[in-house]
Amino acid sequence: MNDVNSGASARQIMSGPPSGYFLVIPQGQQEESASLATVLVTVGKSWRLVLASVVGGGLLALLVSLFMPTTYRAKIIVAPVSESEAVGSGGLRTALNNELGGIASMAGIDLSGSDARKQQFYATLISQGFGRDLVSSENLMPLLFPDKWDAAANNWRAGEKVPTLSAGMRKLLDHHRVITEDRKTSLVTVVYEWWTPDMAARLANRTIEMVNDRLRSEAVRQADLSIQYLNKELATTNVVGVQQGIYALIQEQIGKSMVANVQREYAYRIIDPAVPPDVKASPLRAVIGSVGAIAGLILSLTYVLLRRPAPGKPT
């Protein structure tokens, strides 16, 4: 009798409205947890494959890096020499620009200031013409195209197309040299990457030496031409004020020519010269090996996850 009453009470209680606290687990979270657990289990079952892929990818990348040429990077930091440092006639130039700007312009004299001077220096430094002169002066063609050069015969290999000087210039500028200019400080950095440390440093230092020589010679030539023109103009005028202005221009050009002849660092002053580096720039085998190991890990995980059976299908 008691069992009957107990059963009836239980049925009465269960048939009533729900009471108490309930924890509802969304169906999506259950599926995500199950899916993540399945992925981890699948990867765990294939850990040998994943480990072998990681080790194999790293070793393969290191093996490839052994066939990559070793290069060294050298850099030189320079600052452009301003017009006031070179000649020291800023106030005189301003006055002459106001009074004799036309004659000075026809004589080829730039009175615009140091900004134009810096732009001229930098444009010369990065120009292709200067690059060709550097390749020719340093005899870089055999070094830039070693597969086409016969060192024993000291000539290009028979049957090979002889590379042009322009091709050598492009290869040097595109693959071995980087030039940057800091707009705030005007400092210029020239970086060379080469197969030997001594040559990398030599090319960096030689670049600044050559550009200084080139711009110094051009300044002397331009000053001489300007003086010749100004002397002709001086002979055609009787105005005392104009004559005095022309004399001042001639004096300035003489001073510029003298400075260019005696100032070795005419365009760029060396702040930090290039020295042969003792640490290679590439290949960075530790980085290459790490990238290969990561690539092996990604590929192995992708393979394991793609080949696992779909949910509901037998394994």
8 Å CB contact between 74 and 192: yes
In the structure, what pLDDT confidence band is assigned to residue 197 with cuts at 50, 70 and 90? very high
Q: Which of 90-104, 210-224, 227-241 has the highest mean pLDDT?
A: 210-224
Residue 116 has pLDDT above 90, yes or no: no
Query: What domains sit in the chain, N to C, each tagged with a CATH number?
Result: 44-68+285-315 (no CATH), 71-281 (3.30.1890)
Here the tokens at position 88 are 């020291």
In the prediction, which pLDDT does 262 show?
78
Tell me the Cα Rg of the chain.
Answer: 38
Give the count of beta carbons closer than 10 Å to the beta carbon of residue 166: 12
User: Which H or E element spans position 155?
Assistant: strand 155-156
| Per-residue pLDDT tens digits for 143-159 | 999 999 999 999 999 88
| Per-residue pLDDT tens digits for 200-229 | 999 999 999 999 999 999 988 888 888 888
53: left (phi over 0), alpha (psi -120 to 50) or beta: alpha
In the structure, what pLDDT confidence band is assigned to residue 5 with cuts at 50, 70 and 90? low
* Chain centroid offset of residue 24 CA: 59
Residue 45 has pLDDT above 90, yes or no: no
* Chain centroid offset of residue 212 CA: 23
Give the count of beta carbons closer than 10 Å to the beta carbon of residue 47: 11
DSSP single-letter state for residue 147: G
Cα 133 to Cα 165: distance, rounded to the nearest angstrom:
9
Residue 296 has pLDDT above 80, yes or no: yes
Q: Which residues lie closer than 8 Å to 118 by C-beta, 6 or more apart?
A: 80, 82, 186
